[in-house]
Amino acid sequence: MTMITETAIEADPNLPIIRITRDFAATPEQLFRAHSDPALFAQWAGPNGTDTRIDHWDARAGGSWRYTAEHRGQVFAFRGCFHDVRPDRIVQTFTYENEPDSVALETLRFEDLGDGRTRLHARSLVDSFEARDGMLASGMETGVNDGYAKLERMLADGTV
């Protein structure tokens, strides 16, 4: 199986969904930890130069989370609830607090490829194609690519 070493960010043609796919030299357990442990998540999420502060984080089905991200002097706040927290899957809601009426349903899936490699499948479902295309146009690509590059380094140096 070919490794997806570049991050693939795709807009579904028929559904208001963004799909992100990325392979890591990591076990599913490591990717689960990187996404569920707040101290680890804060170290890699977002574009380079982001200072992520966890306000609240209760990673269990029925728990909730909130964090702020400071980047180039601006502070952005995000929040949501955890619907599912399983070793192979995290399902959560996601809102950028400046747009409180917009809610995405996010699903993270950790697919074991064997040989210490895992494919991350991340999916954001929203309620309109306009909202989905707005997310894609917002510069999310830089945050996603920078974030996964940081995560890759943390996996390589044993932080995760």
- What the block records as the tokens of 28 is 């599913």
CB of 91 to a second copy, least distance (A): 5
Q: Write down the number of H helices and E strands in the chain.
A: 4, 8
> 91: phi > 0 → left, psi -120 to 50 → alpha, else beta; which?
beta
Does 38 interact with a second copy (rule: CB under 8 A)?
A: no
Distance CA 41, CA 82 (A): 15
x-or-dash string of contact with a second copy, 12-31, rule CB under 8 A? --xxxx--------------
Does 131 interact with a second copy (rule: CB under 8 A)?
A: no
Amino acid (one-letter) located at 97: E
**Contact at 8 Å (CB) between 17 and 33?**
no
**Contact at 8 Å (CB) between 122 and 112?**
no
**Contact at 8 Å (CB) between 123 and 17?**
yes
> Closer to a second copy at the Cβ: 80 or 134?
80
- Site for a second copy (CB under 8 A): which residue of 61, 75, 149, 156? 61
CB of 103 to a second copy, least distance (A): 5
Does 8 interact with a second copy (rule: CB under 8 A)?
A: no
x-or-dash string of contact with a second copy, 63-102, rule CB under 8 A? xx-x------------xxxxxx----x-x-x-x----xx-
Distance CA 108, CA 113 (A): 16
Does 134 interact with a second copy (rule: CB under 8 A)?
A: no
Binding footprint of a second copy on the chain (CB under 8 A): 14-17, 56, 61-64, 66, 79-84, 89, 91, 93, 95, 100-101, 103, 105, 107, 123, 125, 127-129
